[in-house]
Amino acid sequence: MSKAHYLSPWASNISPSPTLAVDAKAKALAAAGEDVCGFGAGEPDFDTPEFIKEACVKALREGKTKYAPAPGVPQLRSLLAEKYQKENGIQGLEASQVVVSPGGKFSCYLAILSVIGPGDEVVIPAPYWVSYPEMVKLAGGVPKVVFAGQEAGFKIDPDQLRAAITPKTRLVILNSPSNPTGAVYSRAELEALVDVALEKDVYVMSDEIYEYLLYDSVSHHSPASFSKEAAERVITVSGFSKTFSMTGWRLGTLVAPAPIAKAVAALQSQTSSNATTFAQYGAIAALEHADQSRAAVGEMLTVFDRRREKLLAGLQAIEGIECARAQGAFYLFPKISGLGVDSDTFATRLLEAEKVAVVPGAGFGAPDYMRLSYATSDSVIEKGLARLARFCSALA
């Protein structure tokens, strides 16, 4: 092979994100004039709240256009430390334990890079967010997938976790509320998993990016708040994308024991330097004006909840599809294996025949399922459901 086409093992082995690919395909079809019903996007369809945008514009006007300190603007780190202590119950947190990154995705990657070396194993509950196994492989680690299907509420139990941990295990990834299933672990369920991690002396990465997107009165719990010992073992990652409709801003967060936060800041200083400086001022406004933020999130949740009910009822009415009631994030993850086709074929044919975009479950480690996001309009949900029902009855 010509050297001009040489790709590293990392570049040649990585799969591109299937969720971004579906979204790009749907957007390209729509740009070409097709009437596409997109259920692929993992982003709220609302605009960023005006007061957050204004704070960013003000920062730009004031010349906040230079490098920021690698781990983040000090005021933002302090506000985040305060939020995680007061709201999430993580005790004794210092601002130095907080790192702001260009996106929650990068926060996850840095967390993994900071504790995983070649050959180390990482337990990943499936269905999982598409990027976890790829990030683990990029860090030289080995993903150990533990599956929990619809019957188990898409939640792994302590026995499964214990059985998956070997002397090479370094990290367990938890994600509640979950992408792609919308499952939310109870406090008792999380405590039982964290107990196993502590007993086996492995780290936990808790991805809490959907912490505010909860329905049916369920609550969110941060594993790092469970005990002093847990705070020493848990890396909490999150970001502003989902809560405040800030996907394009690229702002992620990480809270970790001091030595890990320090290592993450060093990794960031040698890779991305810092999250965009003026964008961080928008995040400061989101945290400083908690009342306005709560109101904006509350409005969004009311709309999401209505759409969730609509999509759930519509999916449950289609023969061959089994859909559980998800209580978090903005996804439903129905089982479609009853229709007799694998999820990749199903999604490809559905997009071709009916111009409905869904993400096949294979990329989430669950080929019997597909993911639909209800972060889309009511009219798309109604139209998309009618097309989906027609497509499924033609398959039967």
Q: Shortest distance, CB of residue 156 to ligand PLP, whole angstroms?
A: 16
Stretch that binds ligand PLP, among 66-74, 101-109, 272-280, 306-314 (CB under 6 A): 101-109
Closer of 73 and 213 to ligand PLP (Cβ): 213
Interacting residues with ligand PLP between 219 and 258 (CB under 6 A): 239, 241, 247, 252
Q: How far apart are CA 39 and CA 351, in angstroms?
A: 11
Stretch that binds ligand PLP, among 104-112, 164-172, 186-194, 198-206 (CB under 6 A): 104-112
Q: Shortest distance, CB of residue 109 to ligand PLP, whole angstroms?
A: 10
Amino acid at 42: G
Q: How far apart are CA 335 and CA 392, in angstroms?
A: 13
Closer of 106 and 226 to ligand PLP (Cβ): 106
Which residue in 203, 216, 190, 193 sits closest to 88, CA to CA?
190
Per the listing, tokens 């129905």 go with 334
CA dihedral 134, 167, 189, 125 (to 10 degrees): 20
Q: Which of 161, 209, 230, 267 binds ligand PLP (CB under 6 A)?
A: 209
Binding mask 24-43 for ligand PLP (x = CB under 6 A): ------------------x-
Q: How far apart are CA 52 and CA 293, in angstroms?
A: 9
Q: Shortest distance, CB of residue 252 to ligand PLP, whole angstroms?
A: 5
Q: Shortest distance, CB of residue 76 to ligand PLP, whole angstroms?
A: 15
Q: How far apart are CA 142 and CA 107, in angstroms?
A: 19
Interacting residues with ligand PLP between 258 and 317 (CB under 6 A): none
Q: Shortest distance, CB of residue 249 to ligand PLP, whole angstroms?
A: 9
Q: How far apart are CA 358 and CA 363, in angstroms?
A: 12
Stretch that binds ligand PLP, among 99-107, 192-200, 212-220, 348-356 (CB under 6 A): 99-107
Q: Which of 179, 268, 280, 343 binds ligand PLP (CB under 6 A)?
A: 179
Which residues, 6 or more positions from 286, have their beta carbon under 8 angstroms from its beta carbon?
49, 52, 240, 244, 293
| Polymer length in residues for the chain | 396
Q: Shortest distance, CB of residue 374 to ligand PLP, whole angstroms?
A: 14
By CB under 6 A, tell whether 182 contacts ligand PLP. no
Q: With CB under 6 A, what is the number of residues at the site for ligand PLP?
A: 14
Q: What are phi and psi of 74, to 5 degrees?
A: -50, -40
Q: Which of 18, 49, 68, 105 binds ligand PLP (CB under 6 A)?
A: 105
By CB under 6 A, tell whether 373 contacts ligand PLP. no
Which residue in 388, 367, 394 sits closest to 321, CA to CA?
388
Q: How far apart are CA 40 and CA 105, in angstroms?
A: 18
Q: Shortest distance, CB of residue 177 to ligand PLP, whole angstroms?
A: 9
Q: Are 323 and 308 in contact (CB under 8 A)?
A: no
Q: Shortest distance, CB of residue 241 to ligand PLP, whole angstroms?
A: 3
Neighbours of 389 (CB within 10 A): 17
Largest interatomic CA distance in the chain = 62
Q: How far apart are CA 117 and CA 353, in angstroms?
A: 45
For the chain, the first-to-last Cα distance in angstroms comes to: 47
Q: Which of 104, 125, 141, 361 binds ligand PLP (CB under 6 A)?
A: 104
Burial of 202 (0-12, 13-18, 19+ CB in 10 A): buried
Q: Which of 18, 71, 103, 363 binds ligand PLP (CB under 6 A)?
A: 103
- Residue in the shown chain whose Cβ atom is closest to ligand PLP: 104
Binding mask 188-207 for ligand PLP (x = CB under 6 A): -------------------x
Stretch that binds ligand PLP, among 8-16, 21-29, 102-110, 369-377 (CB under 6 A): 102-110
Q: Are 206 and 174 in contact (CB under 8 A)?
A: yes
Closer of 127 and 314 to ligand PLP (Cβ): 127
Neighbours of 120 (CB within 10 A): 18
- Residue ranges binding ligand PLP (CB under 6 A): 42, 103-105, 108, 129, 175, 179, 207, 209, 239, 241, 247, 252
